[in-house]
Amino acid sequence: MVSEIRICFVCLGNIVRSPLAEHLFLRLANQKRRKHEYIVESAGTSAYHIGEKPDSRMCRVAANHGFRYSGRSRQFEVNDFHRFDYVVAMDLENRDTLQRLSIDDTHRKKIRTMREFDPLGNSHMDVPDPYFGGADGFEETYCIIERSCRGLLEAFEDGRLEI
């Protein structure tokens, strides 16, 4: 029996981008009847919002796209490198923070960037953080994360990524 692929999406505060990615990825996997193949969580590199619910503005955008989600923010811990097969950073700053937290090459090899799975992006591009901006930024971020989640799921399905 093959074990599930374990993924942790990571942004700064774990209230906007990474919880959206967590739930969008699971939603897409569920639509393909493959949700059971994944264990997915999210976390933040900072302690700014520990225990808070996802940002209401991003939740509204998600609801406009037909789904709702919830959860509570938590901070990424070094032990998470042992728990997850892939640690997917929303931007280069969080990727760099994760690399500093990693203790060896085994950990560092698990770190990926979200935009490397975006057909309109690459591994050197950030998912923009709309936290201090207007509604348009939340919509743009939603679209980027949705494309990237689709790309990540396809990478697993076609064998480009594996445990």
pLDDT tens digit string along 133-152?
Answer: 998 999 999 999 999 999 99
Give long-range contacts, CB 8 A cutoff, 24+ apart: 46-52. Answer: 46/12, 46/13, 46/75, 47/75, 48/12, 48/13, 49/13, 49/14, 49/15, 49/73, 50/74, 50/75, 52/13, 52/15
- State the pLDDT at residue 163: 67
Structural domains of the chain, ranges and CATH numbers in brackets: 5-157 (3.40.50.2300)
- State the pLDDT at residue 78: 97
88 DSSP β-pair partners:
9, 112
- State the pLDDT at residue 1: 43
- State the pLDDT at residue 162: 79
88: CB partners within 8 A, 6+ apart: 7, 8, 9, 10, 21, 111, 112, 113, 114, 152
- State the pLDDT at residue 104: 95
71: CB partners within 8 A, 6+ apart: 19, 22, 23, 42, 53, 54
- State the pLDDT at residue 96: 98
The residues of the chain scoring below 70 in pLDDT are 1-2, 163
Strand order in the sheet with 111-113: 38-44, 5-11, 86-89, 111-113
Q: Assess whether 17 carries a catalytic annotation.
A: yes
Q: Assess whether 6 carries a catalytic annotation.
A: no
Catalytic residue of the set 8, 11, 59, 149: 11
Catalytic residue of the set 115, 126, 129, 149: 129
- State the pLDDT at residue 2: 58
Region of residue 14 (phi > 0: left; psi between -120 and 50: alpha; otherwise: beta): left
Could you give the CA distance from residue 1 to residue 74 in angstroms, rounded to a whole number?
Answer: 31
Q: Assess whether 149 carries a catalytic annotation.
A: no
